[in-house]
Amino acid sequence: MAASKNANTNIPDYEYTDVNTDIFHIDSFRTEWLNRLHPGDFSYQPGDQDSSDALFAEEMGISADTMAELKTVCSLDSLRCHPEDQPPDTDVVPPDPTLKTLIQRKKKQDYRDTRKISKNRHDLYADELERLTFGKKSETLDDMVPEGEILLNVNVYYPAIFEKFTHVRPHITVLMMGSHTLAELRDAICCVSDLQVCGEFSNTPDMAPDFISKDHFKSAFFYFEGVFYNDMRYPECQDTSITTIEWAKDRNFPTYTQAKMEDTRFVDLKIKVGFPYLYCHQGDCEHLVIITDVRLTHKDDCLDKKLYPLLTHKHRVSTQKCAVCHVYIVRWVTTNDRFAPSNPCLFCDKCFRMLHYDTEGNKLGEFQAFPYVDRGAFN
Amino acid sequence: MPRERPIYSDFFYDPLTEDVEELLARFQQSDSIRYEYFSAAWRQMGFSDVFIGIVSMAEQKRFSRVTLATAVKYFLPPYSYQIRVGGLYLMFGLYNTQLAVPPVQIRFALKDWDIIQKFLKDSVNSGHQDVVYIYHKLVAAKAIHFTAMPHFLSFLKLRKRKQKTVCAGFIGRTMAVQELFSADILEEVSNIESQYEKLKENTVAVRCEASMTQRDFTARLKDCMAEFLTWQQKTFSQAEADNKGNGGGGDDDDEEEEEDEDEEERDYKASSSRARLISSIKQKSYSNFQEAPKARRHRQPQKVKVESSSSGSEQHYESGRKRKPASLRARTWKSLGVTKDESRMQVWLLSAPEQNERVPVKRIKQTPPYKE
């Protein structure tokens, strides 16, 4: 499966146009860029226009007069389409647009005005996380992301177990540095199946939050290009990928190998950009993982190492509300419950306790209660 | 039905591409690569307005990304040098006028880097100071992301596979023949040929039988090439003159070889400029027609049938609103052959009355969900 190592395999190109790339090694890809670039090209120092102009004049052998002329001709004022003292209203499409883009947008805007729909909440907050960290510098130099570091844009998709999810592809997007290990990506992925609490707690509702699945079942693996990367950081971790490997062995599949998640950095990986891979935890909670972009860092990126892995997008899932108050998010699900209108029935913490326990906290009646973690609880 | 993806989430946006092509065509007509002409065309079209009217920042960012990707597209081959310069100016213009905060960066892919460097070297060598200066300004402004791929890739197949239309007028004329003409290959070929003939003469057994080669091969090849070059010269000087008139000359792609060119040659000789103008307009409208999605074309006869069987009032109603394919429910209904009288039930009826056991159909009274 490994690509043969000749000079060009590390310059990524399309395998299928506009869908995914050929396989390449990330660190070699970085080296290829760094070899081609001038260190100033990717440094974080803000570009100084004057000195760069002077340098340019020197390189090209231009006289000061020509340079001055060039500057005025190519100044940003040359792009201004409106008088300086009357900037256009940037929220409204101007009347009678001539550009086709604007004609289309005007149509859309007019249509939107006829309908009384508030703005799309998803759109409104879509880049909120990114905006917060834009150009953030670290306080100490040690925590700075080094220049020429690789940044990876990783999409982790929710398991497609709800019918609705086959259409919308909800996911979280995490920005990772090349020096991160896969284990750090694992820790950055927040999935409700890690937070479930197993067991029936109707007798002792206060005990419930102590036992979440993440602490019980720590095994997980990533799959990239024929290699299973297992999480083996804790003694209780098991190799959950071996089942698949053995199964594949009997069935004439290419042989798969194994490695440790915590020992593998992103720069060591060989991947295809845009190609779906797998993250599996809790035994059978399977997420698609797609690396959508690999690039060098830029001075506008978040430069504080401590903030990475950086969550830049999170899909907002609608939450289930309590059957009693219809206000708070569900925390409990009960079965065989004589007080409940349905079986099973969902309750928020407050309503659940008010309905099922007396003031001393004694259980009233017969029912089973299971803690419930809502998918949208961490929007 | 799959939900509509948000606007501007594809790599390119068609109306924008048309605008950009319009701008570049104006720039091309100026027959110059000076920045003044570009900025004049920019101001004339009010091009910085493309960013106006987007309220949501997420949408703004997506749109910026699309515009910059479009500009980069014209900055890279297969376009002619002038158009690529236009692409560079466009990158500069769009990057500096975008309203997204923080600004979206231009994405250069590693595989395109050598091409970009060659472009710069050519520009420096031919002394196009403004071209190089604009590029340096972009670099100094840190406007560039050095990436693996020109776009974000998430294993999504583009829903409608558009034919990649390369704006023909923007492509430089084929240089391959000229290069071949000037290279020493012809000489080499004739040398090999004479060597071969000599060897053939020496071997008695094959001398008479073998007659695969043509003795005057190089001379004939030369003639062909010369003919092509004179034709190219003639056509392009004509086409350039036309360009000023109608803004769209017929250049050829590298792949489209001589048959096409011959045809066009005849065209050009035979027709007056007015006829050519008309034919170009026609061609344009035909190509527009073809762009309509296939599915709709297939559906057309069916629709006619549906309309003809519908009652007068409904027909009137239908023509007023947008044509949509009948819903799955409607089509199922139709295939079941259920008519209106049989089904006077409400949607909210959960079980069908007993006399109507055959198909548990439900129906709204007022608006028929399907066209019949």
CA dihedral B62, B17, A11, A256 (to 10 degrees): 60
Instruction: Give me the pLDDT at residue A168, please.
Output: 67
Measured CA to CA, the distance from residue A337 to residue A323 in angstroms comes to: 13
Tokens representing A172 are 């979280």
Instruction: Convert the pLDDT of each residue in A186-215 to its tens digit.
Output: 999 988 888 888 778 888 877 766 667 888
Instruction: Spell A120-154 as b/e; 16+ CB within 10 A means b.
Output: eeebebbbebbeebeeeeeeeeeeebeebbbbbbb
Query: Does residue B1 have a pLDDT over 70?
Result: no
For A156, the closest chain B residue by CA position comes to B154
Measured CA to CA, the distance from residue B372 to residue B137 in angstroms comes to: 63
Which of A26, A28, A44, A78 best tests the B interface by mutation, with the highest count of B CBs <10 A? Answer: A78
**Chain B partners within 8 Å of A81 (Cβ):** 42-43, 46-49
Instruction: Give me the pLDDT at residue B161, please.
Output: 52
Measured CA to CA, the distance from residue A177 to residue B147 in angstroms comes to: 14
Q: How far is B144 from chain A (nearest CA, A)?
A: 8
Greater model confidence, A103 or B171: A103
Q: Which helix (H) or strand (E) holds B206?
A: helix B204-207
- Are B47 and A37 inside 8 Å of each other by CB? no
Rg (CA), chain A: 28
Residues ≥6 apart with Cβ < 8 Å to B260: B252
For A109, the closest chain B residue by CA position comes to B53
Counting every residue written for chain A, the total comes to 379
Instruction: Give me the pLDDT at residue B168, please.
Output: 61
Instruction: Give me the pLDDT at residue B272, please.
Output: 56
Q: How far is A276 from chain B (nearest CA, A)?
A: 7
Measured CA to CA, the distance from residue A109 to residue A94 in angstroms comes to: 11
For A92, the closest chain B residue by CA position comes to B53
3 state DSSP class of B231: helix
Task: Report the 10 Å Cβ neighbour count for A354.
Answer: 14
Asked whether the ipTM of the predicted complex exceeds the cut of 0.90, the reply is no
Query: Does residue B268 have a pLDDT over 70?
Result: no
Assign B5 a pLDDT band (cuts: 50, 70, 90). Answer: low
Q: What is the DSSP string of A30-65?
A: HHHHHHHS-GGGG-SSPP-HHHHHHHHHHHHT--HH
Task: Report the 10 Å Cβ neighbour count for A234.
Answer: 9
Measured CA to CA, the distance from residue A353 to residue A332 in angstroms comes to: 10
Give me the total of CB pairs closer than 8 Å, taking one residue from chain A and one from chain B: 200
Measured CA to CA, the distance from residue B11 to residue B70 in angstroms comes to: 8
By the 8 A CB rule, do B83 and B45 touch? Answer: no
* Facing A90 at nearest CB: one of B96, B99, B141: B99
Partner B contacted by A118 (CB < 8 A): no
Partner B contacted by A42 (CB < 8 A): yes
Which of A117-121, A184-188, B235-239 comes out lowest in average pLDDT? A117-121
Assign A75 a pLDDT band (cuts: 50, 70, 90). Answer: confident
Assign B349 a pLDDT band (cuts: 50, 70, 90). Answer: very low
Which of A75-84, A90-99, B95-104, B200-209 comes out lowest in average pLDDT? B200-209
Please name which of B88, B211, B76, B205 lies closest in space to residue B143, comparing C-alpha atoms. Answer: B88
**Chain B partners within 8 Å of A56 (Cβ):** 132-133, 136
Q: How far is A164 from chain B (nearest CA, A)?
A: 9
Q: What is the DSSP string of B83-114?
A: HHHHHHHHHHHHHHH---SSPPPEEEEGGGHH
- Are B102 and A134 inside 8 Å of each other by CB? yes
Instruction: Give me the pLDDT at residue B308, please.
Output: 37
Mean pLDDT of A139-158: 86
Measured CA to CA, the distance from residue A272 to residue A225 in angstroms comes to: 8
Tokens representing B193 are 């040929």
Partner B contacted by A46 (CB < 8 A): yes
Instruction: Give me the pLDDT at residue A129, please.
Output: 65
Instruction: Give me the pLDDT at residue B265, please.
Output: 44
Measured CA to CA, the distance from residue A198 to residue A209 in angstroms comes to: 10
Please state whether the predicted TM-score (pTM) of the whole model is above 0.90: no
Mean pLDDT of B185-205: 82
Instruction: Convert the pLDDT of each residue in A5-20 to its tens digit.
Output: 444 678 888 888 888 8
Query: Does residue B351 have a pLDDT over 60?
Result: no
Instruction: Convert the pLDDT of each residue in B208-224 to its tens digit.
Output: 776 777 777 778 888 88
